[in-house]
Amino acid sequence: MTRFAFELHATDGRARTGKITMQRGEIRTPAFMPVGTAATVKAMKPESVREIGADIILGNTYHLMLRPGAERMARLGGLHNFMKWDRPVLTDSGGYQVMSLSELRKLTEKGVEFRSHIDGSKHMLTPERSMEIQRLLGSDIVMCFDECPRADRPRDEIAASMELSMRWAKRSRDGFDSGEEHAARSALFGIQQGALDEGLRRVSAQKLVDIGFDGYAVGGLAVGEGQEAMFGVLDYAPEMLPKDHPRYLMGVGKPDDLVGAVERGIDMFDCVLPTRSGRNGQAFTWNGPINLRNARFAEDQEPLDPTSNCSASRDYSKAYLHHLHKSHEILGAMLLTEHNLAFYQALMQRMRDAIAQGSFTAFAGEFRSSYFGK
């Protein structure tokens, strides 16, 4: 069986559509991966995530290593068996969460020593341990262990961090390759760093290519720099990475972020936004985001999208969704999460179709006009 293969079916400008083939299934690109941080896409059953069109989901190394624990997960048959998701799973390395969630941490060449945000217990996460945890989870696409500094740090700090991440990338590669059976059926992605600096991004990309990976991520964005700065990096960063490998933009983003990033050559995305927004009463629509808690929806009998294949989008009135969220009913979070994820998958499908038809520029223009009401 195919371990990992990526084929491009069509391009339109820099936008690309294609397919990743792995043993647990095919992933259509551009792809949006719902985030299943702690072995669950919040407020969704796994079969429902698949029904709305997701080919792959994301799991989180940091959270799963702390609870229920990687070794326990392995004893229970791995992440797929544990959460009843039989398709591909990408796991991030845990590095970003260590940096962002753990107030007590010590960064060294070896890795990061930190205290759990749950109970204060002490842990050490290294490239080798990150690879081991992702192997115990049974991940299909494993991410290198890296550091993600804030973009507003001094250039010399960002350069030193990037160089450290590249040394960790080589150790991640070696650790992954030592995994034998797991390495024979899974894939490893490298992560480009360098914040907003084109020169550092170029050095990082070359070092990753020299090591060799199945796919390449653009890391260090969507960390507060703003869309204009992010797009500025995406104007050049994806082109530094191999054209015949998938390119993954980590932690992005809003629907208009996705369209702009696909326009610039990105193939894969993940973000908590559609699920988190759904729990907080925000719905994404083709005419822009709306807040269902707003009083103007209290007697609105129209559904969110009467043309959608998703029942949450099509069969429930905005008035009912407004009531559920004002009443703090769990069903409100469930329905809006399903709607948002279905909207994101429909957006990816429309982008794939537009690229295949050679009409992506027109699609992007029409999308922005409708989404921003211009």
197 is catalytic: no
- Which is the catalytic residue, given 146, 197, 270, 305? 270
What is the Cα–Cα distance from 303 to 191, expressed in whole angstroms?
A: 41
CB-CB neighbours of 224 under 10 Å: 9
- Which is the catalytic residue, given 92, 140, 146, 305? 92
Taking the C-alpha atoms of 43, 46, 52 and 54 in order, what is their torsion angle to the nearest 10 degrees?
110
Q: Which amino acid is at 313?
A: S
270 is catalytic: yes
Alpha carbon separation from 298 to 280, 323, 325, 338 (Å, rounded): 16, 7, 11, 21
Asked if omega into 278 is within 30° of 0 (cis), the reply is no
Helix (H, G, I), strand (E, B) or coil at 127: helix
144-164: b or e for each residue (b if 16 or more CB lie within 10 Å)? bbbbbbebeeeeeebbebbeb
Alpha carbon separation from 256 to 53, 269, 300, 367 (Å, rounded): 19, 13, 26, 8
Q: Which amino acid is at 350?
A: R
Strand ranges (E), the chain:
4-12, 15-22, 25-29, 31-34, 57-60, 89-92, 105-107, 112-115, 122-125, 141-143, 187-192, 215-218, 247-249, 268-271, 282-283, 290-291
Max CA separation in the chain (angstroms): 60
Alpha carbon separation from 112 to 93, 168, 205, 217 (Å, rounded): 12, 11, 23, 21
What is the Cα–Cα distance from 149 to 141, expressed in whole angstroms?
A: 23
**Angle CA 339–345–347, to nearest 5:** 100
Taking the C-alpha atoms of 103, 106, 110 and 111 in order, what is their torsion angle to the nearest 10 degrees?
10
What is the Cα–Cα distance from 257 to 130, expressed in whole angstroms?
A: 29
Residues catalogued as catalytic: 92, 270
